[in-house]
A = this chain, B = another copy of it.
């Protein structure tokens, strides 16, 4: 079966916004064995929406529409689907009540335009939206003698994802031919894309039935593996075999084989070791702390830390001796080491991280150019310092540095 993903919204036809829901939807559809044949983006004009749906019905079996379910006059997806199928919209009093309740609960005043979100296409199943006011809708019908499935989803990604998982996945699974797919995502750090490919290509090329995609990101490479087989066990076994061979080749450069983020992996290991962490950040400005605390439950191992942008604060918050900064400069191996050791002692943590560098775009010198970062990790066994020279703009340098720092923690406690 072929799916078409249709993103509705004039903002997606501007230079400022891009449809990102389709990546998530594609992943979900693929895992059900459904291929995405087309993606279309259309603006908030009823005539165009009808035209796009008509075209999609002629070439796809499953239409997933996102966006255009909000309360404004521009939100016309419901109207577009109803018009294409020659069906009526009726206002559902239960949904009106649910919307009113949502507003009351949050102490908001509901403006009258919101009731539009309670309009349901005749014959459609309403898909409750626990994260927003506009419910999704599911409607099936015949076109050219074939069954077609049309799903309307809200545009905001967190609403779309929750709704897709709670109400769409199982409905779709019941409609598509049974298939046995397996997928794995390996995450690799500490090597470049071509070096990685050179080492693993001889391995994955022997697995001709596995679809292997290599994606390079800042400070990380992702290997996406996908296969199908006669049973889900057979598919899993096939991928497990390939993953095992790749992990043997790449060793501890592979930090995750289930899609977990580096901060999530660090979280597992720190808890397993009953260890705690504190961080003193200069150039990363809170990014490492932010990544660590993005993991729910991080208070069990992350005590906290200091963002020590000024030199005075490096001394005040992490006990870096003033003369060390005077002699070696704020961006130096010595100050990184002092930050790590100072914050560890101050917070009473098992491990202390210290990061100092030149994020740019200004502030670089011949001796200490933009992209130079010192990362230090202090423990009871002493302190290790890694000096790196990262390429790219401010955001990339900061990301690379956070990646390096978290990877040092991972290797220490793994």
Q: Could you list which residues of chain A lie within 8 angstroms of chain B, going by C-beta atoms? A: 10-18, 20, 22-24, 26-27, 30, 35-43, 48, 51-52, 55, 59, 70-72, 74, 106-111, 113-114, 131, 156, 158, 185, 192-195, 197-198, 211, 213-216, 222, 224, 278-279, 281, 284-290, 292-294, 296-299, 302-310, 312-313, 316-317, 346-348, 359-362, 389, 391-396, 398
Name the CB-closest residue of B to A30: B15
Known: A38-B41, A296-B362. 16 other contacts (CB 8 A): A11-B215, A14-B224, A15-B23, A16-B23, A38-B52, A70-B193, A106-B389, A111-B194, A156-B216, A278-B313, A284-B290, A285-B294, A289-B290, A296-B361, A297-B362, A304-B310
Complex Cα gap A106–B391 (Å):
8
- Enumerate 8 A-B pairs (CB-CB under 8 Å) in ascending A order: A16-B185, A16-B215, A18-B23, A106-B391, A109-B195, A111-B195, A286-B289, A304-B309
Contact A394 B193 (CB under 8 A): no
Nearest-Cβ distance from residue A45 to partner chain B, whole angstroms? 8
Name the CB-closest residue of B to A395: B294
Residues of B within 8 A of A222 (CB): 16
Contact B41 A39 (CB under 8 A): yes
Contact B310 A307 (CB under 8 A): no
Nearest-Cβ distance from residue A281 to partner chain B, whole angstroms? 8
Complex Cα gap A348–B312 (Å):
10
Contact A39 B37 (CB under 8 A): no
Nearest-Cβ distance from residue A13 to partner chain B, whole angstroms? 5
Choose among B12, B26, B284, B361 the residue that contacts A15 (Cβ–Cβ < 8 A).
B26
Contact A13 B26 (CB under 8 A): yes
Residues of B within 8 A of A192 (CB): 108
- Describe A's contact surface by its main secondary structure: mixed
Contact A224 B16 (CB under 8 A): yes
Residues of B within 8 A of A306 (CB): 304-307, 317
Given contacts A70-B193, A304-B317, contact A288 B285 (CB under 8 A): no
Nearest-Cβ distance from residue A202 to partner chain B, whole angstroms? 13
Contact B16 A113 (CB under 8 A): no
Nearest-Cβ distance from residue A244 to partner chain B, whole angstroms? 22
Residues of B within 8 A of A316 (CB): 346-347
Name the CB-closest residue of B to A20: B18
Residues of B within 8 A of A16 (CB): 23, 185, 213, 215, 222, 224
Residues of B within 8 A of A108 (CB): 192, 195
Contact A309 B298 (CB under 8 A): yes
Contact B13 A39 (CB under 8 A): yes
Nearest-Cβ distance from residue A28 to partner chain B, whole angstroms? 8
Residues of B within 8 A of A194 (CB): 71-72, 110-111, 113-114
Complex Cα gap A8–B90 (Å):
39
Residues of B within 8 A of A394 (CB): 294, 296
Complex Cα gap A147–B211 (Å):
38
Given contacts A59-B51, A285-B290, contact A347 B299 (CB under 8 A): no
Name the CB-closest residue of B to A291: B286
Contact B197 A113 (CB under 8 A): yes
Nearest-Cβ distance from residue A290 to partner chain B, whole angstroms? 4
Complex Cα gap A149–B52 (Å):
21
Residues of B within 8 A of A52 (CB): 38
Name the CB-closest residue of B to A279: B307
Contact A392 B131 (CB under 8 A): yes
Given contacts A286-B287, A394-B294, contact A24 B15 (CB under 8 A): yes
Complex Cα gap A377–B374 (Å):
33
Contact B313 A309 (CB under 8 A): no
Nearest-Cβ distance from residue A322 to partner chain B, whole angstroms? 15
